[in-house]
Amino acid sequence: MDERARSTLDTDDHVDTPPQTTRRAVLTAGGTIALGGLAGCVAVDGLWDRASERAIGTTSASPASFYSGGAIDDVTAYRSGPIDVRFVPPTLRAESRRIDIDGWSTSAATNAQDYNSSRSNKPRTTYWPDPDSDGDGISTLVTVLDIERSLVVYADAAIGAIEERSADDATAALDAFVDATTAVQAALDGCPTELCRTVSDHADGRKDLARDATDAVSAGRWDSARRSIQQARRIVQSDIDRIHDDLDSDGDGLPDATKSLYEYLDGEPTIAEQFVVSLPDTRVPDGPALESELTPKRVLEYFTGDRNAEGCADSDRAAAVHRDLACRDLLTATIALDGGDLDQHRDIDTKDIRRGVAAFGTTSGVVVTGASPAAAVAEPMARVTSDCCAADTCCFDYDSWGEEITAGAATVTPTFVVPVVATPPDCPSPIPALLYVRRIRHDDQLLYVGGWHIDDGALYENSATLLVADGPNVVAGVTRSDIEDGAIDLVKMASDDRVVRKKPGRTKYATATVTGRYDPDAEYLPAGAHSVCRSDGDLYCWGVQSREALATHDTTDCDDRDPDVRPSAVTTALDAPVLHLVEAGDASNDVKFKAGAELSKSVN
């Protein structure tokens, strides 16, 4: 058995309890959260049993986990590591008594090798690990640097249009230059440093030069227009150099505050984690149904925020989860929202977030990526299905999982995706990431499945993280004999599913993280995935990663065959197969622990 799993069992049990402990012994040992004023109420087994009998629905649950995938030998892929299995029983209140119900979780981390050095993409210089909470202006300068780089793109576009005597194109580029300069001034407002004041002062001058160029274009004075915008571009470049020098004191090309992060990525960093929490689909008369208590907002809160905060295990709710969830201790990384607010998601101004999410539809699926908040398609959250994308991807109440669809013996909700920062153990600073979660009903149980994944586009140029799906998750019921015999045929299950998948990628790649140069025809992508340069000219994943990328999309012809561009992708599936232990209601906890850690052995 995995040592972490065994240590969890020991923690929940009395020290002298053997591994084959009963479910009641584990629960009464204090592994659950006491409801307000309820701790210690269940002192007599008879009271416990009478309360338990009042539950409607099953009180039993079994472990489930994502399938880790089959043999992969044609691409660079990183698989998740050993599975951590835990017994995490929640509690329901019935007549002031606690109801005996099961709960299990599995989780696994994905570690890369030489993640930073095994690529041609340069580190992006416009990511800063911490918000500007100390008022030193550095985070502001990082934002300004991104805008300044877009100004160079607009200036070059204006110069090219002027040389071609294209008044309309020149005017459009110059107008965009003025608008972006205004955005620089707004970002610098209130920044206390001398460099901020210098750049702000320069912004006034170059805005005047751009307007002079616009007037000259209107008058047909092309040479004058070119001189004005060329002078403005020189000012922009000098400000970029000043900001670079301020952020990168030793001139090694990396901002001082991110150097340790990229060094971490040079080793064997944790770049993703996955989890599945299995709970009974149960309720009590005139009391709560577990499913109605565990809203998307509440589930997301169990994975975002401080770990083991004071009072995290205290709850007066009708349904209370195990301490490992309530205290955000289920995963190895500490996760925090990146400027968003689960209570005010509809009112979030994209100016208040450092990264957003953007969803794009394909002919048979969906691709979700991280995005600059400056992109019109960027949102503070997304709720997506494989039928994406309608105009109402965002923003929904976090109190509803949305409409469920049937997939075999399971029903599956849409997936929620939110931008976060994740700090794995030994990581020196937060990593930009995307957190995702959905709910699945299977075998009279509620499976909350999800994870987080590094947001590559925030850290590297010409790259994007792609969370993809072409249907609901295939959920395979696995018996203990299936594990022994390797009897599960996921490929057949996927082909028998009512959702017809055009490619075999899910059963082969599962939760693996695939990295490399982007190929829209790759079998791990949904059918109809766009090329980097879409045939309809619309924005796609790489065009929303930064303000510079947005400016490039607006002003130049896209060419994803350019060897100097080499767009790359880091891809993982939202709809990876899930393996769920079934026919194990009477099995001991030790048997479930062992089976939960070995579920992938059931796949032939």
Query: What tens digit of pLDDT does each residue of 192-238 get?
Result: 889 999 999 999 999 999 999 999 999 999 999 999 999 999 999 99
3-state helix, strand, coil in the chain (%, to 5): 35, 20, 45
Q: Are 248 and 25 in contact (CB under 8 A)?
A: no
Residue 239 has pLDDT above 90, yes or no: yes
CATH number of the domain residue 144 falls in: 1.20.120.660
Specify which residues 476 forms β-bridges with.
Answer: 579
Among residues 412, 423, 506, 413, which one has the least CA distance to residue 468? Answer: 506
Note whether 443 and 560 are same-domain residues. Answer: yes
Do 354 and 490 share a structural domain?
A: yes
* Cα of 567 vs its chain's centroid, Å: 20
**Together in a domain, 435 and 499:** yes
Residue 58 lies in a domain: no
Q: Are 410 and 442 in contact (CB under 8 A)?
A: yes
CA distance 236 to 231: 9
Instruction: State both tokens at 464.
Output: 């994007």
| In the chain, % of residues over pLDDT 70 | 80
Higher-scoring residue by pLDDT: 106, 250? 106
Q: What is the pLDDT of residue 132?
A: 53
pLDDT interval class at 12 (50, 70, 90): very low
Both structure tokens of 233? 């571009």
Examine the domain organization and report whether 204 and 271 are in the same domain.
no
Residue where one domain finishes, among candidates 223, 254, 285: 254
- Is the domain of 396 the same as that of 472? yes
- Single-letter amino acid code for the residue at 15: V
Of 254, 287, 313, which marks where a domain is finished? 254
Q: Is residue 57 one of the residues assigned to a domain?
A: no
Position 601 scores a pLDDT of 81
Instruction: Report the C-alpha gap between 57 and 444 in whole angstroms.
Output: 8
d(CA 116, CA 124): 11
Domain C-terminal end among 200, 220, 254: 254
Q: Which two tokens stand for residue 383?
A: 């709720």
Residues 170 and 301 in one domain: no
Q: For tokens 């400027």, name the residue.
A: 339
Q: Identify the residue whose tokens are 């600059």.
A: 372
- Please state, for a pLDDT cut of 90, what percent of the chain lies above it: 50
Residues 311 and 451 in one domain: yes
Lowest mean pLDDT among 14-28, 338-352, 397-411: 14-28
Amino acid making up residue 290: L
How far apart CA 69 and CA 87 sit, in angstroms, is 25
- Is pLDDT at 21 greater than 60 in this prediction? no
For residues 36-56, give the mean pLDDT: 41
pLDDT score recorded for residue 16: 33
Task: Write down the H helix ranges in 164-221.
Answer: 167-188, 194-218
CA 591-593-597 angle, to 5 degrees, is 115
Separation between Cα atoms, residue 280 and residue 319, nearest integer Å = 12
The residues, ordered by sequence, that sit 6+ positions from 140 with a Cβ below 8 Å of its Cβ are 132, 187, 188, 191, 196
411 burial type by CB count under 10 A (0-12 exposed, 13-18 middle, 19+ buried) = middle
Indicate the pTM of the whole model: 0.87
Whether residue 178 is found in the same domain as residue 301: no
For β-strands 475-478 and 578-581, DSSP reports them as parallel
pLDDT classification of 26: cutoffs 50, 70, 90: very low
pLDDT score of 59? 85
CB 431 within 8 A of CB 421: yes
End-to-end CA distance of the chain: 22
| 478-488 pLDDT per residue, tens | 999 888 888 77
Whether residues 456 and 513 fall in one domain: yes
Name the band, by pLDDT with cuts 50, 70 and 90, for residue 339. low
Neighbouring C-beta atoms of residue 440, cutoff 10 Å: 23
Write out the residue range of the structural domain in which residue 185 sits. Answer: 138-254
Same domain, 285 and 413: yes
Co-location of 182 and 277 in the same domain: no
Question: Do the domain assignments include residue 534?
Answer: yes
57 against 173, higher pLDDT: 173
For residue 521, pLDDT over 60 is answered with: yes
Q: What is the domain count for the chain?
A: 2
395 secondary structure, DSSP code? -
- Are residue 91 and residue 155 in the same domain, yes or no? no
pLDDT in tens, 375-406: 988 888 888 887 766 555 555 667 889 889 98
CB contact at 8 A, 595 and 77: no
**Per-residue confidence (pLDDT) for residue 128, from 0 to 100:** 77
Are β-strands 445-454 and 431-442 bridged in parallel, bridged antiparallel, or unpaired? antiparallel
Query: Does residue 323 contact residue 33 with C-beta atoms inside 8 Å?
Result: yes
Give the pLDDT score at 575: 92
Q: Which residues contact 67 (CB under 8 A, 6 or more apart)?
A: 476, 490, 507, 510, 511, 576, 577, 578, 579, 599, 600, 603
Question: Which range has the worst mean pLDDT, 174-178, 253-257, 586-590?
Answer: 253-257
Are 249 and 256 in contact by the 8 Å Cβ rule? The answer is yes
pLDDT of residue 467: 97
Cα(278)–Cα(276) distance, integer angstroms:
6
Over residues 544-599, the pLDDT tens digits come to 999 999 999 999 877 766 666 678 999 999 999 999 999 988 889 999 999 999 98
Kindly report, residue by residue over 105-149, the tens digit of the pLDDT: 999 999 998 887 666 677 877 777 765 545 566 888 888 999 999
